[in-house]
Amino acid sequence: GSPVRYDLKKENNNMDRAKVEGWMTLDSAQDLFAQLDMSVDEARQMALSEDFEAMPLNVQANVSIKNKFEELSAYNVVGYIEGSKYPQEHVIYMAHHDHLGTDPVREDDPIYNGAQDNATGTAGLLALAEKFSQQPQPERSIVFLAVGAEESGLLGSKWYAEEPMLPLSQAVGGINMDLMNVYGPVKDMVVIGYGNSEMDQYLKPYIEEQDRYLAPNPTPEAGFFYRSDHFSLAKKGVPMLYAEGGNDHITKGKEWTEEQRAKYVAEAYHKPADEYDPNWDLRGAQQDMSAFFKLGWQLANSRDWPQWADGNEFEAARKATEEERN
């Protein structure tokens, strides 16, 4: 049968969803639109038009579905340091604390530990909270958000985006930590969605003081910016930074680091083998945490409001709440 799917429960028990939802391969879509003397690209352009209206496809399908519904609970954990002057304005640090649970089919090693994904990010979140707690009170508040159910469809962050502790119109910006660097110090820091917002440039001086450089994600076609929790807040207009340890190892070079990452994806990513390894070199993660701390401290003690890049898809959501920040 089909795998289990999760969603947030609505008051109407999600009865506003389509009766049947699914995916279609590109080949099937091309065959379908060919019957209408149209290409998939032409149909896509029509759908992007503001005056687009649904049109009949002259195709019928018989579908039989047997579903079993079950209600489960997951938890977000939020801590914050209240700002001394502007308590509603806040900087967000976030990481997801969940993973995939257990595999009932496996008897030898059934636990999906999620050590890199994302115990490393959760540990980074706790370390930052401890560091900030040792500083003088910032002018703006700082929120530390550990979300659940990321692996089930970003559900914890999706819920927080609708029910935030502080108004997201007053969120200065956010930093998401998902999979920290366990391979040692590197010369670069990879920014997923490089150029999306000014958050890159706010981070840049703290990377350069470590004799490092910012680099864009080498595989933007994989859509990683849309596959982690910052996406839920970005859709609400909050300028979000999603950066992770780079690929240019300080002594072993890019090829070695890329080999390590490929090995992790092949052997451990979303598998029980994602376990803590005492051979991890966390000096690279420490570099990143230092830069993230300095960036957050700057934003929490300034009157700056980082912006999305002109024309960015999330810019309109931010501008819609502009009066609330004036």
How do residues 106-161 score in pLDDT, each as one tens digit? Answer: 888 889 999 999 999 999 999 999 999 999 999 999 999 999 999 999 999 999 99
Whether 189 and 244 have beta carbons less than 8 Å apart is answered as yes
Percent residues over pLDDT 90 in the chain: 78
Whether 114 and 201 have beta carbons less than 8 Å apart is answered as no
Q: What is the pLDDT of residue 56?
A: 87
pLDDT tens, per residue, the chain with 326 residues: 556 788 998 888 888 888 888 888 999 999 999 988 999 999 999 998 889 998 888 888 888 888 888 888 999 999 999 999 999 999 999 999 999 998 878 888 889 999 999 999 999 999 999 999 999 999 999 999 999 999 999 999 999 999 999 999 999 999 999 999 999 999 999 999 999 999 999 999 999 999 999 999 988 888 889 999 999 999 999 999 999 889 999 999 999 999 999 999 999 999 999 999 999 999 999 999 999 999 999 999 999 999 999 999 999 999 999 999 97
The full set of domain ranges for the chain reads: 1-72, 77-325
Tokens of 86: 């502007």
**Residue indicated by tokens 């996406």:** 231
Chain centroid to CA 98: 13
Whether 214 and 203 have beta carbons less than 8 Å apart is answered as yes
Q: In 3D, which of 121, 113, 126, 97 has the Cα closest to residue 277? A: 113
Phi and psi, residue 88, nearest 5°: -75, -30
The model carries a pTM of 0.89
Query: At the fourth CATH level, which superfamily is domain 77-325?
Result: Zn peptidases (3.40.630.10)
How do residues 194-234 score in pLDDT, each as one tens digit? Answer: 999 999 999 999 999 999 999 999 888 888 899 999 999 99
- Name the DSSP letter for residue 159: H
Beta-bridge mates of residue 214: 189
